[in-house]
Structure 1
Amino acid sequence: MTGTSSPERLVLASRSAARRAMLTGAGVPFTAVDAGVDEDAIKASLAGIDPADLALELARAKALAVSRHDPEVWVLGSDQTLDLEGTMVSKAPDLDAARARLKTMRGKTHHLNSAAALARDGAVVWSGVHTARMTMRSFSDGFLDEYLAAEGEALLGSVGCYRLEGMGSQLFDRVDGDYFTVLGMPLWPVLDELRRAGVIAT
């Protein structure tokens, strides 16, 4: 991309505030739309699939759904799945469920898979998935009560019922993996692909 050329346009096919914040913080120009895909139907059709592969399929589906409607832009889809001892965990519907979820996860290690896909002209041109290994400490019930009261329903937007950029950092003993992967998108490889696509400068 030269100084006189018009940059390619990017659409983020996601409602995630964390993903929007990542791109904004990295200085990437974009617009955001809801991909409108039926995630439950996709999960049902892929029952038994490895959680990391499911994250990849969901990211691809989101990117494709938007790209088919607007083929002249680059579309970035992203999704995240959580694997707890071989079982895929979905978002908690309410704070009572979040409390039960966190009690189940404390003192254990889970894997958080963040996938991204880039589409153009109704076809996926790149996709990838990164995994973070997350070890929760054996926190007390008292801390859990304090945590849930402080964070509130904002936790329900995260598959793990935590935001590492907030008080959720106190839930963990150890995190092995990229910070952005934990937040919900493998940002470094995404930026590489956006440079290749001409969305941001090389």
Structure 2
Amino acid sequence: MFKPLLQKLDGMRIILATSSKQRTKVLQDTGLKFEIVPSNFKEDLNPSEFSISDFVEQTALGKVRDVYEKLKLEIPKPDIIIGVDTVISFNGKVYGKPKGREDALDLVTKLTTINIPHMVYSGVVIFYRDNFFKFTEVTTVYMGRLSEQEIEAYINTGEPYGKAGGYAIQGLGSSFVERIDGDYNNVIGLPLYRLTQKLKEIMEV
């Protein structure tokens, strides 16, 4: 983020509603001052009842509302709360974080043995002055092929857990990402370019 926007945001109480170290680092690297408050929102919406964009936006909205309820009586109140939810769409199905080893193994196997790309969707919700601003960013990811032994070795590193799609593009997972179309940071879990543009629009910078 550049100086005019950072100056406009300076002194505001900004909350990132996450427990994700990856999202936190992406935002920290911009120089923005913010607090981390994880959400306890139950991520139990049924994706079959929504479009993918609506699904991630509604989940992000739930995270923001949960954190707002936690903090609304504090002084000072939060000025801005940012919530994000990320999933992937592959071969007609929606996947989030793997629930265990077998889930991770199945997901990484699909992504690296079936020769079709997957889409990463991140829904972002920004709470500011009693308004909710929403958008969804989509990135297409093309994976290289992995052998069964390579997939097992990757799962054994522990990296797939806690990551939408079961891989980390900023970690060892980068070694089998052939290319992407779209925002790299979106694959990490925080679409920084669109977030910056939306904050500029909201703050009238």
TM-score category of the 2 structures, normalised to the smaller one = 0.7 to 0.9
Q: Do the aligned residues in 2 keep the contact of 1:14 with 1:77 (CA within 8 Å)?
A: yes
* TM-score with structure 1 setting the length: 0.85
Alignment partner, residue 143 of structure 2: 136
Once the two structures are TM-superposed, the CA of residue 173 in structure 1 deviates from its matched residue by 2.2
Distance (whole Å) between structure 1 residues aligned to residue 7 and residue 145 of structure 2: 54
Normalized against structure 2, the TM-score is what? 0.84
C-alpha contact (below 8 Å) 1:115/1:127 kept by paired residues: yes
Q: Which runs of 5+ in 2 are unaligned?
A: none
Q: How far is 1:108 from its partner?
A: 2.5
Letter of the 2:181 counterpart:
D
Post-superposition shift, 1:171? 2.0
Q: Counterpart of 1:28?
A: 32
> 1:42-74: CA deviations, max 9, x gaps?
x13x63312222111111221222224435421
Residue 3 of structure 1: how far off its partner (Å) = 7.0
Structure 1 residues 12-161: aligned runs within 5 Å: 12-40=16-44, 43-44=45-46, 47-68=48-69, 69-70=71-72, 71-106=77-112, 107-124=115-132, 126-149=133-156, 151-152=157-158, 154-161=159-166
Unaligned runs of 5+ in 1: none
* CA deviations over 1:136-161 (Å, ceiling 9, x no partner): 22211122122223x31x32101211
Contact 1:51/1:82, CA 8 A, preserved across alignment: no
- One of 173, 181, 189 as aligned partner of 1:168: 173
Please report the RMSD computed on the Cα atoms of aligned residues, expressed in angstroms. Answer: 2.5
Inter-partner Cα distance in structure 2 for 1:132 and 1:193: 18
Identity %: 22
Shift of 1:122: 4.6
CA distance 1:146–1:62, shift in 2 (3 Å): same
Moved >6 Å (runs of 4+): 1-5
For 2:167 and 2:78, the matched residues in 1 are separated by 36
Aligned residues: 194
